[in-house]
Structure 1
Amino acid sequence: MRCAGPPNHFSPRRRAMPSRKRKPLVYIHRLEWNPYEYYMNEENEKLLQSFAEVRNDGNVREPMTHEALVERLRGVEAILSLNGSRAPEITREVLEEVGTVRVAAVSHWWGDLSAKAAEAWRQAGVEVIDASDACNQAVGEWALGAIIAGLRRFDEFDRRMKSGEKWPSWRGVAGQLNGATVGLVAVGRTGRWLLRYLKPFDCRVIAYDPYMKKKEAKELGIELVDLPTLLRTADAISLHAPVTPETTGMIGRKELAMIRDGALLVNSARAALLDNDAFRDEMKKGRFRAYIDVFQPEPPPEDDVLRTLNNIVMTPHVAGTTDAMYHRCGQMAIQAIRDYLERA
């Protein structure tokens, strides 16, 4: 018979294993129109999971009740709002009943829907981070490309060479951005990105923005002017104003007549800034050229005169729409949540 020996009172005790810190819980609310996969590629999935547990309703299609949302949000510390299409379902009352949500990051601002949700979330004591600058960057980049392409007249040379002209002359045709005057109508978030992209070029930037102070304009390296001066002076005019009662139709028949011959008008903001009929009448004269990404209505009718004119380049509301833009939207919002949670 084998006997056990005496207990070894001098053997070291086992050290207790340190408990792992629980990852914070992040909730992704349901979306519509632009699907979850637009924003969350494999890289973004890994980034989010590197610091958080995820409760994901991004692909849920049916509306969610108050009770269902309270249940899904229990224990959640952060909301990842990939776009605001269904963000208002998460009401102030839902968040107050849950009581654990500290922060929400919006990756793609969705107009009034995101604004409505953000207001309710702030009222519930949630810090709302607008992390949607990827879209502004993309639109600013499109505007820069339109200005360069429009001043250099890429489309005109392309059309002439494809129509049988063997070697078009460059004389008296193309301009260039270096040495030009660029006029910005409003210097909001997108306008500021365009301004940043213009920095490497030796161009003069003037702006009409009644809400900007002269001191800020000086710091940004731009000259504030009134709208008539901008329209009469600029080689390229880029619109960046939001649509408000004040700005709707702000570029009307009188203002369009002020644009000098040979200039370039770029609109990546909203069609409502232009008087629709006056704009079409002016473009038929061929005095100046335009690069337009937004229309009223969208899409423009098949018989819209704009589709027939060689002095306008049209793109189908894609200034802010690329695969990279959506992925960057998701990435920037995820990083914003991570940074907030690390600071907290």
Structure 2
Amino acid sequence: MREESRRPRAVLAMGPGVRESVFSGGALDRLARLVDLHGEVMHEVDEKVLAETEVLVTGWGCPPLDGRLLRAAPGLRLIAHAAGTVKTFLEPVVLRSVRVTSAADANAIPVAEFTFAAIVFGAKRAFTMAHRYRAQGSRRDFSGLPWLGTHRITIGVVGMSRIGRRVLALLRNLDAEVLVYDPYADPGEAAALGGRLTDLDTLVRRSHVVTLHAPDTPETHRMIGRDRLALMRDGAVLVNTARGALVDTLALAEEVTSGRLDAILDVSDPEPLPPGHPFFALPNVFVTPHLAGAQGGELTRLADSALDEVARYCSGRPLRHEIHIDELGRIA
């Protein structure tokens, strides 16, 4: 069945400016061929618009999706989210009657790429060396570094999430031992991805680089706390592109200020960090403003992913990235 053979009523729901940044390069034209698209973007729940809506295409800044939405949109059958997590705005009750998909897999691509780069730069002490170069003007000063480079190091991957799996695939480009911690993972699956499943304490104790890819849940809150940071070997690098709440910020600040550990942080707790936070001044800490996910031209992947799901729905094909209610407790 061709994509244009069925045209359900659809609405875009997202924050101001999101449509223009995400749905570029002909994406809106494609959506208009798939559905009968309402002309205006819905920033707040509009009961009149929703009354005849079957497909809702959401993005960053969309209104809450809850019981009120269901009452306003009795014919709603699909929510295609053109971004990553849905947990910040979607109530579980919606999943009982509406199919929901996410572009989290598409968003995982740039995060994994960013993480791989962070691991390599961290292992090469690129940020410490850049600081020394600026301060001293010397050619190369490797003094005081406990180890350097990626050759035969051990890398610990915490979480076999979408992003964690992609990171594991990229790590095959390195001559490194890879340890994996994920309480839901199967050892055979971890091995197939190039890693060896182990417990978290063993992972942080043995790894030269620890990279975090777990969701923020009550079970993972500050999972890298004072005790586990103390287990990490001298000179180890902590990479966090997941959620700031996975790490005890105060305990990490003590470790990096002493110079015992390095950190590359794309997320933090709190986020953003307050001006003047010590992380910004330390040569062994590199902080970025939550930019590992899709940015700029990478945003087109999110639109493409959402529109592919709309096309599958319209033609009666199985959805590829559907979210189920029993997954909410352990997805990012």
Work out whether the TM-score is over 0.5: yes
* Structure 1: stretches of 5+ with no match in the other structure: 1-20
Q: CA RMSD in A?
A: 2.5
- Which residue number in structure 2 is paired with residue 18 of structure 1? none
Whether 1:54 and 2:29 are equivalent positions in the alignment is: no
- Which residue number in structure 2 is paired with residue 106 of structure 1? 81
| Cα 1:82–1:65 shift into 2, 3 Å | closer
8 Å CA contact 2:237–2:261 kept in 1: the answer is: yes
After superposition, residues 75-154 of structure 1 pair within 5 angstroms as 76=54, 78-83=55-60, 85-86=62-63, 88=65, 91-96=69-74, 98=75, 101-116=76-91, 119-124=92-97, 126-154=98-126
- Which residue number in structure 2 is paired with residue 38 of structure 1? 21
- TM-score, structure 1 as length reference: 0.81
Equivalent in 134, 142, 164 of residue 191 of structure 1: 164
Distance 1:279 1:172 in 2: 20
The CA deviation at 1:144 is 0.8
Q: Deviation per CA, 1:256-291, whole angstroms, max 9, x where unpaired?
A: 111111211101111111112111111111012110
Structure number with larger C-alpha Rg: 1
- Which residue number in structure 2 is paired with residue 250 of structure 1? 223
The CA deviation at 1:34 is 6.0
Q: Number of paired residues?
A: 312
Distance 2:93 2:38 in 1: 21
- Which residue number in structure 2 is paired with residue 28 of structure 1? 11
Counterpart residue identity of residue 112, structure 1? K
8 Å CA contact 2:18–2:60 kept in 1: the answer is: no
8 Å CA contact 1:243–1:272 kept in 2: the answer is: yes
The CA deviation at 1:49 is 3.3
8 Å CA contact 2:169–2:193 kept in 1: the answer is: no
Distance 2:143 2:254 in 1: 28
Whether 1:261 and 2:266 are equivalent positions in the alignment is: no
SS state at 1:157 partner? helix
Distance 2:11 2:110 in 1: 24
Counterpart residue identity of residue 43, structure 1? G
| Cα 1:298–1:261 shift into 2, 3 Å | same
- Which aligned segments of 4 or more residues in structure 1 are displaced greater than 6 angstroms? none
The CA deviation at 1:169 is 4.8
The CA deviation at 1:199 is 2.5
The CA deviation at 1:114 is 4.3
SS state at 2:65 partner? helix
- Which residue number in structure 2 is paired with residue 8 of structure 1? none
8 Å CA contact 2:206–2:233 kept in 1: the answer is: yes
- TM-score, structure 2 as length reference: 0.84
Q: Deviation per CA, 1:229-266, whole angstroms, max 9, x where unpaired?
A: 11111111001111122211211111111111121110
Identity %: 29
- Which residue number in structure 1 is paired with residue 322 of structure 2? none
Distance 2:278 2:218 in 1: 27
Q: Deviation per CA, 1:179-231, whole angstroms, max 9, x where unpaired?
A: 22110111112211211222233322101111212232233231111112111
SS state at 1:183 partner? strand
Equivalent in 193, 196, 200 of residue 227 of structure 1: 200
SS state at 2:132 partner? helix
Equivalent in 148, 168, 186 of residue 140 of structure 2: 168
